[in-house]
Amino acid sequence: MDLNNYVVQIRRGIKRITLQRFLCSKIAYGESFSNIELAALFHNQLWLQTKCSTDVDFQKKFGRDLESLTKILKEANFSRGLTERATESVKQKLKTQEWDFLFPQRNLPQIKLQVGNSIITKWRKPEGVEVSRLPPEKHIGKGYRDHGTAKTPELDASPAWQEVASEVGRIDGALERLNLNDITEEDINDDPLRILGICEEALLLVESKKRIANSGNSRTAKATQRSRTKVR
């Protein structure tokens, strides 16, 4: 499964701290661990960090352990996925950390019953207008000077193309709001996960804009070729 096309979410009603301890325990004890669980581990950690900043009692109980876990995850190198080297490195750090965050290995089957099926994935709707949903090509009737040259939204500024142009403007606005030029090295060091999320969102927006532009170039080329054929 290509996680770039999906959003990982945690089901409501699940004790997120229990899920986090369970996921960390699976890595520490060498249990089978999937890319979806890895994505959920990072996603859940951000949520727990936010809860620590707003819930004093929760912060007192789990704040120190979550800070230690954040440090371990920041030092982890999962850029190539769940490689044996990256997994083993995190495994050793989790096991040698002086804390009570991990569940005893014998309890994992019971904990799994509590948090099983708590991680869900949803299809990420692509930004922009899908090529298949762009306005179909039309032909203008007799009596026009070009006698049937196909008209395309790009060339005649019809309302359909204006709608697509509006979508491009919306994408440009979304990119501008991400403030990519304002990201500093300090921001990256302080919260690399947040910056990674911003960069991924920006890449998706850029790809959407390219798809729209490529679709427009393809239609323009077709119209030009038809015009040349008729002139001959």
Q: Where are the beta strands (DSSP E) in the chain?
A: 6-10, 119-123, 138-139, 150-151
Please check whether residue 23 is in contact with residue 37, taking contact to mean a CB–CB distance below 8 angstroms.
Answer: yes
The answer, as to whether pTM is greater than 0.75, is no
pLDDT band at residue 157 under the 50/70/90 scheme: very low
From the list 116, 125, 126, the residue with the least C-alpha distance to 10 is 116
For residue range 68-80, list pLDDT tens digits in order: 999 999 998 887 7
Query: CA–CA separation, 131 vs 38, rounded Å?
Result: 32
For residue range 80-93, list pLDDT tens digits in order: 778 899 899 999 99
Q: Of 66-75, 129-138, 193-202, which gets the smallest average pLDDT? A: 129-138
**Dihedral class, residue 128 (left if φ above 0, else alpha if ψ from -120 to 50, else beta):** left
**Dihedral class, residue 13 (left if φ above 0, else alpha if ψ from -120 to 50, else beta):** left
How many alpha carbons lie under 13 Å from residue 26 in its C-beta half-sphere?
19
Query: CA–CA separation, 128 vs 167, rounded Å?
Result: 6
Question: Which pLDDT score is estimated for 216?
Answer: 61
Q: Examine the pLDDT at 145 and tell me if it is beyond 90.
A: no
From the list 165, 156, 155, 173, the residue with the least C-alpha distance to 134 is 165
